[in-house]
Amino acid sequence: MGSSTESISEVTSVFSQQERIPVLLKIEPEFWWANMANPTLELMLHGDDIASLQARLNGHPTNISIVKTTTTDNPNYLFISLSLKNAAPQTISISLAKDGSTQHQFDYDIKQRRAGSAQRKGFDNSDVIYLITPDRFANGDESNDNHISMLETANRADKDGRHGGDIKGILNSLDYLEQLGITQLWINPLLENNQQKYSYHGYSTTDHYRIDPRFGSNADYRQLVAAANDRGIGIIKDIIVNHIGSNHWWMQDIPSSTWVNGLTTNHSSNLRTNLSTDLSQVQFTSHRRTTVQDPYAVASDRSHFVDGWFVDSMPDLNQTDPKLATYLIQNSIWWVEYANLSGIREDTYSYADKAFLAQWSKAIMTEYPNFNIVGEEWTANPITVSYWQAGKTNKDGYVSYLPSLMDFPLYETMLDAVNTPESWDKGFIQLYEMMANDVVYADPTNLVLFEGNHDTNRLFSLMNEDLGHYKMAMVYTLTSNRIPQIFYGTEVLMTSPLEGRHDGTVRADFPGGWPIDNKNAYTQEGLNPQQIDAQKFVSTLLNFRKSSAAIHHGKLIHYVPKDGTYVYFRIDALQTVMVVMNKNPNNVLLNSDRFKQPLADFSSATDVLTQKTQNITQTITVPANGVLVLTLN
């Protein structure tokens, strides 16, 4: 971040009179790039009475011009729109004047893009995503556990407090992650969260352009991405456009009275005090996500969902404000370009204004046509999820540009199907019939299926600590026709309560991430036999999956579940993979005749998990309460 820091520090006052001089405090974004698909850039300048100044370019920059300057109802903000069409990388000089006299001058960098940046490849079906809650994964630098400018200090004894995990800890873990077999890291938000409590989770942003110093620096983040890329691992950034943290620097001097939903105060020196006293007037979201697509929903119910705050420490953003919309779009693109990301996970997707969401996702995908973005729409209804995927023809005419969504319907069905005893309409048949709902999606194969995340209870616990059921859920997650995502620690059977929300426990520390830990997932020291078995099982599957063409893009066919077994195939021109799940407490012999179409050209199969080969011309042997993943020979 050396260059960006210099850009701000070079802001200089060159005017001195008796009258008060407007003070320039901040410029965002701090720099930009030449040759972006969108040739327009909007700078947001913040400073006392800065709106009274006129902006002009100094000298004769090549192919760069000021299109317009605009203000809001807050005199402390000035927005400068620049045209960069056909502009080469360069440093420009901008002056701010009043009545013809220069008050401030600053340099602004238009940088060279990385070669091939626009064509970057996003995560896809060939990947496995590994989700990390960074404060709880590994502490690589104890010196940054606390920071003088941050309100909350580390307390590892508090399950809801900060524990000290950081970017250096993830960097130190890359060898482990590479050997495990993952190819993408989704990291819960790393941006500054200067809140008094619960700052560890990262979902209360207080500065959109700064990594929280308790995690590291912007430069550390970029170093992590580069080191991960060297190991064939991409980085997916967790972004929130719906809300911010109540201690965001904006909240001390709101850029516009329409910037945040539910504010009833006007601009004043004690805006923070006014906000605190006005919280009783804030409307909190109803969480009724269907209201934005329900043809019968009334406008007030839609507004209650979209415009309501999550909690009193998370102000809800009004993305219909065009300045805020541009700010959020540019910020997302800035991080992709600056850090060299391979994807975005967008939090609480449907909670933001849906016209803005289309604008936001379209802008990013226009800049990076081969990129991928996955949105969170937490519902068990496939129709509700499908509404948001790009390519879906919606009856209300809404056009989305979001490529991917988290497949909550299939996740919840998978848990029920594996856990529930078999009957006519329960068990594996639930999973089989849920797959028929793929017809409502524009592209079901671009959905992300997960076995758990930072908001759900732990898989091994949800499987009632039945290792066989755990393995069935993991195999399905990793071999279905979806993009798979696993949660840190699932590979070593981390546990949680079964019912209710227990965030601090679900997001417990990864064993071995702290030097004093008695258990160590990196070395297997202190792990019990089941944990070692599960870790080997997951790693074997992940490393097989890395080179499996059939799993990456093969077609899926499946058979109606029968006698406690469920069979499906992944097939492409180069490879056929057969997957069998068996809930029976005994080994089962499957008659090969039932599967004669996909088995026609094969006489034997190799078990991916054991490397044992069996003849499959007559029968197929499936282990008790277990799974088979077979490559056909």
Residue 344 CB coordination number (10 Å): 27
Residue 351 CB coordination number (10 Å): 25
Q: For residues 574 and 550, is the Cβ–Cβ distance under 8 A?
A: yes
The distance between the two most distant Cα atoms of the chain, rounded to a whole number of Å, is 97
557 φ, ψ (degrees, to nearest 5): -130, 145
Residue 467 CA: distances (Å) to CA of 41, 514, 537, 579, 580: 54, 27, 11, 17, 16
Distance CA 461, CA 354 (A): 36
Q: Is 110 helix (H, G, I), strand (E, B) or coil?
A: strand
Amino acid identity, position 519: K
Q: Tokens 């619960």 correspond to what residue?
A: 198
Q: For residues 601 and 574, is the Cβ–Cβ distance under 8 A?
A: no
Q: Is 331 helix (H, G, I), strand (E, B) or coil?
A: helix
Nearest CA to 412 out of 471, 468, 352, 476 is that of 476
Q: For residues 496 and 503, is the Cβ–Cβ distance under 8 A?
A: no
Distance CA 401, CA 588 (A): 46
Residue 555 CB coordination number (10 Å): 11
Distance CA 553, CA 302 (A): 38
Distance CA 488, CA 385 (A): 25
Catalytic residue among 212, 376, 377, 491: 376
Residue 490, token pair as written in the block: 């699932």
Residue 511 CA: distances (Å) to CA of 64, 119, 343, 349, 494: 53, 38, 27, 32, 9
Distance CA 629, CA 544 (A): 10
Q: Are strands 77-83 and 54-58 parallel, antiparallel or unpaired?
A: unpaired
Residue 313 CB coordination number (10 Å): 18
Catalytic residue among 135, 347, 377, 491: 347
Amino acid identity, position 452: G
Pinpoint the alpha helices (H) of 174-282: 174-180, 218-230, 271-278
Amino acid identity, position 549: A
Q: Are strands 373-375 and 404-405 parallel, antiparallel or unpaired?
A: parallel
Distance CA 626, CA 605 (A): 17
Which contiguous run of DSSP H or E holds residue 543?
A: helix 529-546
Annotated catalytic residue 337: no
Annotated catalytic residue 30: no
Distance CA 401, CA 518 (A): 47
Nearest CA to 214 out of 160, 130, 148 is that of 148
List the catalytic residues. 347, 376
